[in-house]
Amino acid sequence: MTAQTISEELKLVGQLTIRTVPEIASQVSDILARANLVLSIPADSEVDVSFIQLLASAQKSAEASGKSVTLSHPPAGALHDVLSRGGFLETGLKSLWNEKEGAA
């Protein structure tokens, strides 16, 4: 039997862009060191592709350590727009908001 895995929510608001990604990456790293990560991203957040790169990197790091990164709800607003424009909606990032596949 494995130990119970804890999840922590990180609420992100405002700019999720190249200017704020380093600080967000630090928060993500800190949480993934101890728990699964659930990201809460409001539809009115400003998002650019550097944040999407952070999501992809966080997902890979989490999987390598037996943890997960998920979104608290499907992407909306600018996050959805950037994922769509970048062609990420049908990639491995889809598991961020479609975690039911791995649920027991």
**pLDDT higher than 70, residue 60:** yes
Per-residue pLDDT, 4: 56
Per-residue pLDDT, 1: 35
Residues 6+ apart with CB under 8 A from 82: 47, 48, 49, 51, 52, 88
Range of lowest pLDDT (12-16, 38-42, 75-79, 94-98)? 94-98
pLDDT, averaged across the chain: 89
Angle at 76 between CA 71 and CA 78, to 5 degrees: 110
CATH of the domain at 49: 3.30.750.24
Residues of the domain holding 76: 7-96
**pLDDT higher than 90, residue 8:** yes
Per-residue pLDDT, 94: 82
Per-residue pLDDT, 2: 44
pLDDT one-digit tens code per residue, 64-103:
999 999 999 999 999 999 999 998 888 878 888 865 444 3
In a domain, 104, yes or no: no
Per-residue pLDDT, 101: 40
In a domain, 2, yes or no: no
In a domain, 101, yes or no: no
In a domain, 88, yes or no: yes
CA–CA distance, 52 with 42 (Å, rounded to integer): 15
Q: How many domains does the chain have?
A: 1
